[in-house]
Structure 1
Amino acid sequence: MQDLFIGLMSGTSMDGVDGVIADFSSGVRVLQHASAPFDDALRSELMALNASGPDELHRGWLAGNALMRVYARVVADLLAQSGVAASAIAAIGAHGQTVRHRPQQFDGTGYTIQLAQPALLAELTGIRVVADFRSRDVAAGGQGAPLAPFFHRAVFARPGEAVGVMNIGGISNITLLRADGSMQGFDCGPGNALMDAWCLQHTGKPYDEDGRWAASGKVLPDLLAALLREPYFAQTPPKSTGRDLFNRPWLDAHLARFPGSAPGDVQATLTELTARACAADAKGLSKLIVCGGGALNGQLMRRLQSLLSSTAVVSSADEGLPPQQVEAAAFAWLAMQCLRGEKLDLQSTTGARGARVLGGIYPA
């Protein structure tokens, strides 16, 4: 089997697509990285589809088509920049865009929805596509998330050492790689989603660069305490969450109790909320490896290090894989596992009933 795979990830930050060509012939090696931002219209539509609205099926399908065209552009960039031929790629692992995540709810099974049209992506690229990674896990009684822990273990595990891998995208999740070789993974809570939304509203910028705005404000203790009383934080794993919970209506309902709060102080408080939610799940580690956009937020990284004084908090770049490449590489790896028919034992992460092969295959 070929060893080159493309991984494509558009996460809960909803800012665009990251893609990698990964070589799995000997360990994990990223040969090329490329990214593409969403235009304002697509980003707005994807955000809107996180909540109920008119004509959702029609709009969701068209948004999925538009998303695949962005994915295909990233694939073309990856191939052009690397000089790798499409025929050399075993498959594309395409995550799609999560717009609803409600596992185990309503009828006991629930659902998770990632907008994607993998057949269209196969047509546009001429490459086999593996997609729909999460639904089999939900069907098997799992949370459908997080799935990256298996990749984190393959790349970042250190024998005899307790290491955590914290992905801070729109939502934050952690993989606990224990010294005895066992593993656990779950969603911690909000990552960048609330900070980015507040920053966009009050500064016109899509994110708080390096956390400078948050660093200029002061944390509002009463607001922070109210936010931390969210029942999700007290739930025991396995657990997962998304924008279905941590969204602007959730934040606005809390802010209504604190009228007149200075926007910069709210930003500082939201950054502290993410830091506290993440740190609470990362106790007792020798090292915490941070990836995703949150690793680029200096204020957030400083707060994590302060809260975890006995743990070395580092960027995944320090471990050989830049923060914006980790999740895309994970879905390249998951595509490889699917093609090989490898079953992943999800019980310790998602709570599924047992090992399952994840993903659906769409031939070129």
Structure 2
Amino acid sequence: MSASAASPQLFIGLMSGTSLDGVDGVLADFSGAQPRVLAHHAMPFAPALKQELLALNTPSDNELHRAALAANGLVRVYAQTVQALLSDTQTPARDVCAIGAHGQTVRHQPGAFDGTGYTVQLNNPALLAELTDMDVVADFRSRDVAASGQGAPLVPVFHQGIFGQPNQTVGVLNIGGIANLSVLHANGDVLGFDCGPGNALLDHWCQQHTGDAFDNNGAWGASGSVIEPLLQAMLAEPYLQQPPPKSTGRDLFHPTWLAHQLRDDVNANPADVQATLTEFTALACVNDVRRHAADASELIVCGGGALNGLLMQRLQADLPNVRVLSSAERGMPPLQVEAAAFAWLARQTVLGLPGNLPKVTGAQGARILGGIFKA
């Protein structure tokens, strides 16, 4: 993570994840041995944009037209986030080397259909360059997929740089819409993959039955009781048994998947289903920690799931010999980590350095990720 004095230093990272709650943006300084977040700004999606982005995760009419307009709408939120970061820090746009803009994943099918497959992140980096008058780096995942990789997760190498500890194994669990685990082994090796659903199913069920966008601190789930047969049925999902490298998304863990699981529990108490979904989300992650990071001393949790008190409690209860803690206790608040990772990935691209770890994604080799759209 160290940088020479001549290297670009200031980058903006923008992340809108599968949770679809909005955009997290950071302005990060890479002048020191560790990246430093100078500012963080969260910009929620307007309800209409959120609904359209969610709808575009499944086949529907007139997709190309709707996707193009949704990408434009997303980029306008990106641009507002950038301006807020610059304003909050009184930073001139010319001082920022580039923006790393992840885009909004609406399909993720690496290796499928024709042997190559695809991954689609809605974005319009050309428009973002126009609106901000700044260089933009985007489309990070497709090169890894072209090299026979999963295109995800891309954050483990960043996790290693900021959370890795000498001579001990550490797990880093990012719980966004989907949960992904980075295993930072004591010998320096890194493993990373998607465990299963993070907040996607929890948020969907909460929205459907309470009208709230998410289960605040897990309080609603805590009011229910786990339905053990339903939990075991969900844990039998074949994806959870697959060895890494692997990645997933809303292509698999979506409302129809949940409805299928609930076919024998259609009259279940909704709070009990929420409690069961929370335990399912926790155990999908815990089982992977047990399999792949049995010697971990800590599990550092980031993403929105780190703010769900019930989920954090269940992770700790199911991993009694591992200290489960928020990434904030290691110097970076949970909602900043992924955005900071894409600032770092943008920097790698600008410097002509690889951004993937082939051992993590399964790609044929290290690759420079993304394309650059000049101001």
TM-score of the pair, normalised by structure 2: 0.96
> Which residue number in structure 2 is paired with residue 234 of structure 1?
241
> Which residue number in structure 2 is paired with residue 346 of structure 1?
357
Match status 1:164 vs 2:171: yes
> Which residue number in structure 1 is paired with residue 288 of structure 2?
281
> Which residue number in structure 1 is paired with residue 29 of structure 2?
23
Is the CA contact (8 Å cut-off) linking 1:219 and 1:266 kept in structure 2? yes
Structure 1 CA distance for aligned equivalents of residues 265 and 356 of structure 2: 45
Counterparts in 2 of 1:191-270, with a 5 A limit? 191-270=198-277
> Which residue number in structure 2 is paired with residue 14 of structure 1?
20
> Which residue number in structure 1 is paired with residue 136 of structure 2?
129
Q: State the 1:258 CA deviation.
A: 1.5
Q: State the 1:346 CA deviation.
A: 2.4
Aligned mate of 2:334, from 319, 323, 327: 323
- SS of 2:119's equivalent in the other structure is strand
Is the CA contact (8 Å cut-off) linking 2:356 and 2:369 kept in structure 1? no
- AA aligned to 1:301 is M
Structure 1 CA distance for aligned equivalents of residues 240 and 143 of structure 2: 26
User: Alpha carbons of 1:117 and 1:106: their partners in 2 closer, same or farther (altered >3 Å)?
Assistant: same
Q: Write out per-residue CA displacement over residues 97-130 of structure 1, whole angstroms, 9 at most, x where no aligned residue.
A: 0000000000000000000000000000011000
Is the CA contact (8 Å cut-off) linking 1:2 and 1:88 kept in structure 2? no
> Which residue number in structure 2 is paired with residue 40 of structure 1?
47
Structure 2 CA distance for aligned equivalents of residues 133 and 103 of structure 1: 14
> Which residue number in structure 2 is paired with residue 67 of structure 1?
74
Match status 1:308 vs 2:314: no
- AA aligned to 1:296 is L
Q: State the 1:279 CA deviation.
A: 0.6
- SS of 2:264's equivalent in the other structure is coil
Q: Write out per-residue CA displacement over residues 228-270 of structure 1, whole angstroms, 9 at most, x where no aligned residue.
A: 1100000000000000000000000111121210000000000
Q: What number of residue pairs does the alignment pair up?
A: 364
- AA aligned to 1:7 is G
- AA aligned to 2:353 is E
Counterparts in 2 of 1:171-182, with a 5 A limit? 171-182=178-189
Structure 1 CA distance for aligned equivalents of residues 354 and 11 of structure 2: 18
> Which residue number in structure 1 is paired with residue 348 of structure 2?
337
Aligned mate of 1:100, from 76, 98, 107: 107
Q: Write out per-residue CA displacement over residues 134-176 of structure 1, whole angstroms, 9 at most, x where no aligned residue.
A: 0000000000100001110111100101001100000000000
Structure 2 CA distance for aligned equivalents of residues 22 and 99 of structure 1: 27
- AA aligned to 1:136 is R
Is the CA contact (8 Å cut-off) linking 1:173 and 1:188 kept in structure 2? yes
Structure 2 CA distance for aligned equivalents of residues 326 and 194 of structure 1: 22
Aligned mate of 1:82, from 83, 89, 110: 89
Structure 2 CA distance for aligned equivalents of residues 15 and 347 of structure 1: 30
- SS of 2:361's equivalent in the other structure is coil
> Which residue number in structure 2 is paired with residue 294 of structure 1?
305
Where structure 2 has 5 or more consecutive residues not aligned to the other structure, the ranges are 1-6
